[in-house]
C-alpha cells in the first residue's frame, strides 16, 4: 500500500486526521511521506491522477465520506456517540466471529438495542449504497440512546459464558456497522474517555 493510499483511507475513516489535513494539508502529506506528484494531485483534487497512483476507484465516495464526517462534527450527538463507540471497541477487543441469539436477552435494554440496530442497519446500508454518508451518520446517531441505556443496565462480561458471548456478539455487530463509515473512537479525548468506565 502506498503512503498516499494509506493517507486517503485515514482521511475517510478518522475525523482527527481530516481536521489536521484541512488545516495544513502539506504538513500532513509530509508526515505520511507523500511524493511531490502525490501532493500536487491531492491539492488540485486531480481524481484521474490519484486513481492512477493509488489504484483506488472509489475516490469520490471517500471524499463524500470525509465531507460528511466534517459536517457531522457539529451534531450534538457526535462526541457522545464517539464515547459510546470507544466503549464498544474496548470491550470487544480481540473478540470475533460472534453470533447473536435474541433468545438469550435477559432484559429490555438488550432487546431494544438489538431491534434498534436491525432497523438502523437497513437504512444505513441503503444510504451507503446511495453514497449518502451524511444520512448514514445521522442514522448511526439514533443508536446513541439505546447504546447508552444498554451500558447503564447490562453487565457485558457476565459470568454465564453463553450470555457473555451473546452480549459481545451484539456489540461486535454494532462495531462492524460503525467501521463501515468511520472510526469514531479516534476522536475521543482521554478526559472524556475517563468519565466512562467499561462494563
Domain range 75-194, CATH architecture: Orthogonal Bundle (1.10)
Instruction: Tell me which range, 4-18, 26-40, 106-120, 125-139, is most confidently predicted by mean pLDDT.
Output: 106-120
Distances (CA, A) of 88 to 43, 81, 83, 131, 176: 36, 11, 9, 26, 10
CA 67 to chain centre: 14
Rg of the chain taking only CA atoms, in angstroms = 19
Q: What is the pLDDT of residues 173-197, one digit of tens each?
A: 999 988 877 766 665 433 444 444 4
Question: pLDDT, tens digit, for every residue of 66-110?
Answer: 778 778 878 888 888 888 888 888 899 899 989 999 999 999 999
- Rounded distance between C-alpha atoms, residue 156 and residue 170, angstroms: 10
Tell me the three cell numbers of residue 93. 477487543
CA 66, CA 45: separation in Å to the nearest integer? 14
Q: Which ranges in the chain belong to alpha helices (H)?
A: 3-13, 15-23, 25-31, 36-44, 47-54, 59-72, 78-92, 108-130, 133-141, 144-153, 161-179, 190-194
Q: Where are the domains of the chain?
A: 3-66, 75-194
Residue 191: the pLDDT is 40
Amino acid at each position: 500500500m502506498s503512503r498516499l493510499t494509506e493517507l486517503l483511507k485515514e482521511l475517510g475513516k478518522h475525523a482527527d486526521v481530516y481536521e489536521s489535513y484541512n488545516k495544513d494539508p502539506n504538513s500532513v502529506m509530509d508526515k505520511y511521506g507523500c511524493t511531490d506528484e502525490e501532493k500536487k494531485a491531492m491539492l488540485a483534487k486531480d481524481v484521474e491522477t490519484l486513481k492512477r497512483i493509488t489504484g483506488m476507484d472509489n475516490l469520490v465516495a471517500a471524499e463524500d465520506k470525509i465531507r460528511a464526517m466534517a459536517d457531522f462534527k457539529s451534531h450534538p450527538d457526535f462526541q457522545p456517540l464517539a464515547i459510546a463507540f470507544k466503549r464498544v471497541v474496548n470491550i470487544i477487543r480481540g473478540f470475533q466471529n460472534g453470533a447473536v441469539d435474541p433468545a438469550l436477552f435477559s432484559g429490555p435494554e438488550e432487546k431494544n438495542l438489538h431491534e434498534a440496530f436491525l432497523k438502523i442497519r437497513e437504512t444505513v446500508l441503503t444510504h451507503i449504497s446511495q453514497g449518502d454518508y451524511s444520512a448514514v451518520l445521522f442514522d448511526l446517531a439514533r443508536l446513541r440512546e439505546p447504546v447508552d441505556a444498554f451500558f447503564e443496565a447490562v453487565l457485558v462480561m457476565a459470568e454465564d459464558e453463553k450470555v457473555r458471548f451473546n452480549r459481545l456478539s451484539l456489540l461486535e455487530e454494532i462495531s462492524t456497522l460503525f467501521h463501515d463509515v468511520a472510526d469514531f473512537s479516534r476522536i475521543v479525548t482521554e478526559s472524556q474517555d475517563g468519565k466512562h468506565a467499561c462494563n
